[in-house]
Amino acid sequence: MNLTSTYRAAAACALLTVAAAAPAHAQLGGLRRAAQRAVSGAAASSSPVSPASSPAGQPASAASRVNTGDVLEMTAPVLDRFQRALAAESADRGQLAQRLAAVKTPEAYSQCNLQWYTSAPGQAVSRKVTDAAERSDQAAMTAAAEEMKAALERACGPDPSERGRIQSDAQAHAAQAGLAAGEFSPRQYAVIKERAVPFCRAAGQAAGEGDVRLPGRGTNVYWVYTPAEAAALRERCGALMRALADKS
């Protein structure tokens, strides 16, 4: 079925919902999908850039290599930025719970859609789709589809099938908020997370003067911290580990 026929059929389905509630319930999905296809065909999608995942394997840096490239020395000012970044991530993720709370069950969402399509606003948008299809006006069909999608989300909330995408987008957005608040590159942020955790978990082993060496994974592999890093981390380990636990 070509796009014009699809929109003509979809609009007809919406206009018949009052007279045949059961068939209309099945037809609503087709109308929603037609609208979504028009919207997705009108513009390329974009997604926030996600930070690089924390690198696995061996320790990121020895003390002699800090402040080289993506490995920043974890001094007090850098850790202040790190804490701001973690706080910004946490605050941004808090909005995710509110968004997910607005997602209806599939059954409730379908019922809400049925009510909207049979309402005066729903009928009006359906007529716009039909009129555009009759004129073979792709731009008008796309505009009507966008209007329909926006109106449905205002009335019924997000489509339950979008729950996974909402979660993924929200996590990426939160990560970007952290990078912006801390003024880090994705790799710098990941390396700080990777290096801070072993030190804070070591507790008593990390005491003492001079460079701190902690066993890493593998033979003769160590996490090494400068005296400035060790001093700054000791003062903040409790807060950092709580913030990182909240983030996980």
How far, in whole angstroms, is CA 103 from its chain's centroid?
Answer: 15
Distance CA 9, CA 2 (A): 11
Q: Are 192 and 74 in contact (CB under 8 A)?
A: yes
pLDDT for residue 222: 83
The predicted-structure confidence for 153-164, as pLDDT tens digits, reads as follows 888 888 888 888
Within this chain, do residues 123 and 209 fall inside the same structural domain, yes or no? Answer: no
**pLDDT exceeds cutoff 80 at 144:** yes
pLDDT for residue 66: 61
Percent of the chain with pLDDT over 90: 27
pLDDT for residue 207: 66
| Range with the poorest average pLDDT among 38-52, 175-189, 193-207 | 38-52
In a domain, 52, yes or no: no
In a domain, 235, yes or no: yes
The predicted-structure confidence for 188-241, as pLDDT tens digits, reads as follows 999 999 999 999 988 755 666 678 888 888 888 888 899 999 999 999 999 999
Q: Where does the pLDDT of residue 3 fall: very low under 50, low under 70, confident under 90, or very high at 90 and above? A: very low
| Range with the poorest average pLDDT among 134-138, 164-168, 202-206 | 202-206
Within this chain, do residues 128 and 230 fall inside the same structural domain, yes or no? Answer: no
Domain count of the chain? 2
Which of residues 134, 157, 180 is at a domain's end? 157
Within this chain, do residues 151 and 173 fall inside the same structural domain, yes or no? Answer: no
pLDDT for residue 184: 94
Q: Where does the pLDDT of residue 78 fall: very low under 50, low under 70, confident under 90, or very high at 90 and above? A: very high
Mean pLDDT in residue range 37-59: 39
E strand or H helix that includes residue 110: helix 106-117
Within this chain, do residues 169 and 149 fall inside the same structural domain, yes or no? Answer: no
Domain carrying residue 151:
3-46+105-157
Within this chain, do residues 174 and 76 fall inside the same structural domain, yes or no? Answer: yes
Mean pLDDT in residue range 60-64: 44
Mean pLDDT in residue range 60-78: 72
User: What integer best gives the mean pLDDT of the chain?
Assistant: 75
Nearest to 59 by CA among 237, 229, 244, 232: 229
- Residue 162 has which token pair? 């979008």
Within this chain, do residues 179 and 214 fall inside the same structural domain, yes or no? Answer: yes
Nearest to 178 by CA among 97, 84, 95, 71: 84
If one compares 98 and 106, the residue with the highest pLDDT of the two is 106
Q: What's the pTM value of the predicted model, to 2 decimals? A: 0.55
Mean pLDDT in residue range 130-147: 89
Within this chain, do residues 96 and 117 fall inside the same structural domain, yes or no? Answer: no
pLDDT for residue 172: 87
